[in-house]
Amino acid sequence: SNQGQAATMVSRFNNRTLVLFPLPFQGHINPMLQLANILYTKGFKIIIIHTDFNSPNQSNYPQFTFRSISDGLSKSKDESLNLETVNNVINFMNKSCIEPFTIFLAKLLEVEHAACLITDSLWPFTQSVADSLKLKRIVLRTSSMACVPVYATFALGEKSYFKTAIKEELALMTENDIEKVYKGGSEKGNKELIYNMIKETKASSGIIFNTFKELEEPALLAISQDFKIPSFPIGPFHKYFPASSSSLLEQDRSSISWLDHQPVSSVVYVSFGSIAQMGEAEFTKMAWGLAYSKQCFLWVVRPGSVSGCEWLESLPKGFMEEVGERGCIVKWAPQQEVLAHKAIGSFWTHNGWNSTLESICEGVPMICSPCSYDQPINARYVTDVWKIGVKVDNKMSREEIGIAIKRAITEKEGEKIRQRSKSLQEKVNQSMQKGGSAYQSLESLVEYILSF
């Protein structure tokens, strides 16, 4: 009836405000702000709550309302708390933000009706806040779908996961991979965070994933068997909106003009993301590996990423002379644009999920050197499941590293890897077209939110 339709329209109109709460790290801010843009174009009004720490660059987003809450980090500086590692900071903020977040949200809801709260999965504390305010919460998982059952298995000892559809892939994980999952910070802190993340995600109303169904079908099946809530693999987000506007560091554009002068598919792009750190010995070995490969390379060395160094002090003597015009080193690059550049032949990566996905979308094969967290899981998928990359680890000699780099980019052995990378790239494109799985999943997400 007309009346019924009018009532539906009114309720839809009222349900157009969304409150988003990103986790303040580069690899989490990027996808949340991209998601905000996607939902904005679907007609939603966006309110973003953010911490003082790593607050996003608001001037790039005049279409959103930003509100900051205190995260307590600056106050804690002189206490004996160990905030050295990312996971400790996240665990700390999951306590220090409870009060300011609750107060802010309660006040907001007095004057504004919101359809739901969308938070990063690593803000587990927000579920009980949402429950207490009778607001639905949807979780954004910024990593691969495969990580969810893997994390649950290893961190919680939930053996039942081994019985799920993901069993075969799980079996690929080695002891070394698992050790690395816990490496970034204290094992206790990591387990606490992962446990809370899984528990409160299960208690939420749905999960949005920055991935697409065709890439991770067994994982999607495993999750749908175990989680009673709907999953929405609507990614890759950066195909809708680039990550460059949410970059916390300035992107050095000279890397693009340098690439313009290199032959097609000749350059190894090297970057280990915004958090990973390495020792001097590892850094030196990387440098020699690049030299031995005899390939052109664009290398992002983030200031502070080599322990005890400001920037390039520990580059081996004579390295730049040895590589000459073949090498370009910058502090931070416009990564998406770099990966899309025709001169790029491969990506030597730490396999952060955003980097992995950005590489897949450009059909660029990977050289995988995961450090910690979800990276060993993503790397395992790249090398052993999708078979679009090779592994390089610190146990290898510089000569072996050089050979592996060269293999991915030029040698005959790497040809299959390069072909598979290209065909996966086509699958992404299909998935995002009208009628494709990511496209449909986004439509269902919008309908789902409007039904609250």
Residues that bind ligand UDP (CB under 6 A): 26-27, 30, 243, 247, 251, 271, 273-276, 300, 332-333, 335-336, 352-355, 358
| 252 flagged as catalytic | no
Q: How far is the CB of 146 from ligand UDP (least distance, A)?
A: 15
CB of 393 to ligand UDP, least distance (A): 18
Identity of the residue, 266 or 375, whose beta carbon is nearer to ligand UDP in the bound complex:
375
Instruction: Find the shortest distance in angstroms from Cβ 1 to ligand UDP.
Output: 48
Distance in Å, CB of 57 to ligand UDP, minimum = 13
Rounded Cα–Cα distance for residues 209 and 230 (Å): 11
DSSP code for 383:
I
The encoded tokens of residue 122 equal: 């690593």
**Residue 156 exposure: Cα atoms within 13 Å on the Cβ side:** 18
Residues in the chain: 452
Number of CB atoms found within 10 A of residue 244's CB: 14
Angstrom distance (rounded) from CA 93 to CA 366: 34
Closest approach of Cβ 299 to ligand UDP, in Å?
Answer: 10
Tell me how far apart the alpha carbons of residues 132 and 134 are, in angstroms, rounded to a whole number. 6
Catalytic residue from among 50, 52, 78, 120: 120
Contact 69, 49 (CB under 8 A): yes
Nearer to ligand UDP, 157 or 304 (CB): 304
Rounded to whole angstroms, how far apart are CA atoms 194 and 124?
A: 9
Between 68 and 244, name the residue whose CB sits nearer to ligand UDP. Answer: 244
Q: Is 393 a catalytic residue?
A: no
The strand ranges marked E within 254-333 are: 267-271, 296-300, 327-330
CA distance 188 to 184: 11
Neighbours of 384 (CB within 10 A): 13
Nearer to ligand UDP, 85 or 355 (CB): 355
Catalytic residue among 28, 50, 238, 341: 28
Adjacent-strand bridge partners of 368? 349, 391
CB of 325 to ligand UDP, least distance (A): 21
232/442 Cα distance (integer angstroms)? 7
Closest approach of Cβ 411 to ligand UDP, in Å?
26
For residues 281 and 276, give the distance between their C-alpha atoms in angstroms, rounded to a whole number: 15
Q: Contact, 190 vs 213, CB < 8 A?
A: no
Report the residue number, 351 or 410, with the smaller CB distance to ligand UDP.
351
User: Which of 197, 450 has the CB closer to ligand UDP?
Assistant: 197
Token reading at 319: 């390295």
350 or 407: whose CB is closer to ligand UDP?
350
DSSP state at residue 372? S
Which residues are designated catalytic?
28, 120
